[in-house]
Homo-oligomer: A and B are copies of this chain.
């Protein structure tokens, strides 16, 4: 089954375009839980148990696990195993933003798809097509290319004018010409005009968009600009605003419903 088919099924089943970012930071979880044997996994399990009927995917950012070294990565492994055993219809996006020369990219692709068993991965495309191909060979997975990020300084390099348009659009137009089925597009929800521009360029591609939660993008504008003609093909990620909420389930439901309000 392709990533797109897997995603369509869960979007329908859970009536949701919401992805929950499992970016669990040991310093931010309750002290009581932090005394547990594997507090990061236990916290993730709590979030997953509370939200699995409200999401279309989970997105652990591997940096939050790497920060605690091998122990942290064991928590990630347990989290992925827990999802694969209990909620195998929910795709896992490993947010890793990898990118390296071809010989090395092959090893990263092996890590994310073979070892971590992710359904999708984020990749930094700036090194060029030969560095993305080792990922693209995994045909049933989605390779989500960073086109425009949501942080404050994103414009510094990504918006440099080239050929009278911002750099990221030059990159996007080249990516478009490659015409690969399993490429997705990462773009911050904080730029509705860019979302619209990229949706025109990629009418059926899957978009991953971040910034609706803690980075407080305008939900209505982002949804209207980002959905495809089937009112789908975009995944809105929220991490901190949900996983550290007093009631993560209620917060996830609220955001899912608000996204849906503007879908139709």
Contacts and interface: CB of A to CB of B under 8 A. Distances in A.
A154 interface: yes
The A interface, classified by DSSP as helix, strand, loop or mixed, is helix
A42 to B, nearest CB: 19
Given A66-B115, A110-B67, A157 B174 contact: yes
B167 A162 contact: yes
Interface residues of A, number: 58
B157 A108 contact: no
A126 B158 contact: yes
B151 A131 contact: yes
8 contacts: A95-B100, A101-B149, A126-B158, A127-B154, A127-B158, A128-B149, A130-B151, A161-B163
Q: Which interface residue of A97, A105, A116 has the most chain B CB atoms within 10 A? A: A97
A184 interface: no
Interface string A139-157: 0000000100111111111
Given A68-B115, A161-B162, A100 B61 contact: yes
Contacts of A108: 63, 66-67
Contacts of A105: 63
